[in-house]
Amino acid sequence: MRIRSTLTRLAVPAAAIGLLLSGCSADTGVTASTVDLAGKSDINPMDPSALQDGGNLRMPLSSFPANFNYLHIDGGDESSSSVVTPTLPQTFSSDAKGDLTIDHNYFTDIKLTNTSPQQVTYTINPKAVWTDGTPITWEDMRSQAQAMAGADRGYQVAAVSGFDRVEKVERGVDDRQAVVTFNKPYSEWKGQFNPLYPKSVTESPEAFAESARNTLPVSAGPFMVGPIDRTQNRITLVRNPKWWGPAPKLDTITFSVLDHSAWLAAIQNNEIDYAYMSGLEMVTGAQGTPGVVVRRASEPKFSHITFNGAPGALLSDPKLRIAISKAIDRQAIVNASQHGIVTDPEPLNNHIYMMGQKGYQDNSAPVAFDPQAAAAELDALGWKLNGDVREKDGRPLVLRDVMYQQDAWVDTAKIVQEGLAKVGVKLEIQTVPGTGLFTDVIDPGNFDLAQFSWNGSVLPLGALPQIYAYDPNNLQGNKARIGSPELNAKIEETISELDPQKAIELANECDKMIWEEGYSLPLNQASGTYATRDNLANIGAFGMATPDWTKVGFLK
């Protein structure tokens, strides 16, 4: 998992997130709640000396990356993240409990060196070089910081990540040191520069949008992007000959774009080695496959239903969104998706913190399931029944729900559809292939309801300005186009707070406001259920932990 203070959209959300299982143990069939799995990972840890030197790890993607620049709005999804993570520098690594340590492959030291003004000093590993042989320097960091804060200069960023608070990035004692000075405090500065791109990608809006659109020509991880076969929808990562750190055990990592419905068959037919499994059929099918084990660990990911509240949209009125929310039985959705797999399944009741994470509390009271109240509120808003469907000013209350083309998502939508029908709201279900779901449908706001998932971080507060702050001229990750000046102000206060406990309290105040405006309905967080070849080590269900791609490999 990339340690970012922002969230990544998942094109295969229910791959499960919303319809994720806290799954059965491959050996015992014992079920566990998501909270029980918090702070753990299940990766078959082994010393690298026990692994083969070589081999090809085969993994699926739900869609072909629209851009290999993960910082660009087109690239900020799970597919791009999966491909670029083994190829780029990061500042910190996380363990299974979410505790952070400096990634010394790339930085020898990172310190908060001043608080008034806030100042962070990064000392780059003197061995660190890009794949074109040029050293990684403070100029790469300055260029990225300027790009991430440059929406007004044409940079289409997936998330600002606090760089709008950076006043300057200066050269330190030499080219291998960067001193970052903030003009306003930023609580989650440890999430910045994750990943770090070369300045050739960030030096201009044109380069930011296009230089990594079709491949990633310059990188700096243990692996680099190699052959790309768009006919076969296949991307291969190869060892980086300029890599200065511990030699990776694998020779190559191959990603193939497959519809999620084909992932189980691909595991069973030995076409891929590692894939997320969702739904009882997929989990049990993987468990019954010779040479495959299912590994599990709770992850900071969650599925949700987001409303389109853009000005002029059918759901622009927050009172209407709240009324509709009260007719959606989130507990029924979780029960249906996790029955027999998770003990006492329950919906996620916080937009910021995950169950089992410090700071989590239930703030969902404004949308508590209450069909009678939903019907009464719809009446009061002027939406009157005309036959089976409500109307107002001659307009029927018909909503379009879009989602990734996967049975698990459709099953959720059918529960929503049934609940809304009982209060006179018609729901039309539209499925979309993974490629194009965001760029062609969700990002342009071509929906009333959208089902997808956010892939989060051990640093959750960055999601507040990225997703829940509202600026009509710079939407970032606010797919709902919903917000208020009051919430914007509370978010500003939260991410400026350097006291961790106070920041948690403020974040929950934000969350209460998010529920009250009917922004979205979280469903449940991911338990992290992965089918893995039983001869693979140091890979599986990472939970909060960061993968070490130099240690992933096949047993001797």
Domains 78-211 and 301-525 equal at CATH topology level: no
Report residue 406's pLDDT band, with 50, 70 and 90 as the boundaries: confident
Instruction: Write down the domain spans for the chain.
Output: 48-62+222-298+528-554, 78-211, 301-525
Q: Tell me, letter by letter, the H, E, C secondary structure of 235-273.
A: EEEEECCCCCCCCCCCCEEEEEECCHHHHHHHHHCCCCC
Q: Quote the CA–CA distance of 454 and 77 in Å, as a whole number.
A: 9
Distance, in Å, from the CA atom of 289 to the CA atom of 481, rounded to the nearest integer, reads: 44
Residue type, 113: T
Report pLDDT for 474.
85
Which residue type does 8 have?
T
Distance CA 319, CA 367 (A): 11
Average pLDDT of the chain to the nearest whole number: 90
Contacts of 183 (CB under 8 A, 6+ apart): 117, 165, 166, 167
- What single-letter DSSP state applies at residue 42? B
The reported pLDDT for the residue numbered 519 is 98
Q: What is the mean pLDDT of residues 427-437?
A: 89
Query: pLDDT per residue over 441-466, tens digit each?
Result: 999 999 999 999 887 778 899 889 88
- Fold assignment, 48-62+222-298+528-554: D-Maltodextrin-Binding Protein; domain 2 (3.40.190)
Regarding the domain delimited by 301-525, which CATH topology (the fold level of the hierarchy) does it fall under?
Answer: Dipeptide-binding Protein; domain 3 (3.10.105)
Among 42, 15, 55, CA closest to 273: 55
- Residue 180, burial from CB neighbour count under 10 angstroms (0-12, 13-18, 19+): buried
Determine contact, residues 43/499, Cβ cutoff 8 Å.
no
Q: Which amino acid is at 256?
A: S
Give the pLDDT confidence score for residue 20 in this predicted structure: 25
Predicted confidence (pLDDT) per residue in 354-392, tens digit: 887 889 999 999 999 999 999 999 999 999 999 999 999
pLDDT above 90: residue 242: yes
pLDDT band at 24 (very low <50, low <70, confident <90, very high): very low
| Single-letter residue type at 291 | G
Separation between Cα atoms, residue 483 and residue 520, nearest integer Å: 12
Whether the Cβ atoms of residue 277 and residue 530 lie closer than 8 Å to each other: yes
Question: In this model, does residue 264 exceed pLDDT 90?
Answer: yes
Average of per-residue pLDDT across 136-163: 93
Q: Is 288 left (phi over 0), alpha (psi -120 to 50) or beta?
A: alpha
Of 136, 135, 130, 161, nearest in space to 146 by CA: 161
Q: What CATH class does 78-211 carry?
A: alpha beta
> Residue 89 corresponds to which tokens in the numbers above?
């520098």
pLDDT value of residue 35: 67
What's the pLDDT at 514?
98
pLDDT of residue 1: 43
Report whether 250 contacts 54 (CB < 8 A): yes
How far is the C-alpha of 347 from the C-alpha of 276, rounded, in Å?
Answer: 20
pLDDT for 33 equals 66
Determine the average pLDDT of the residues in 309-329. Answer: 98
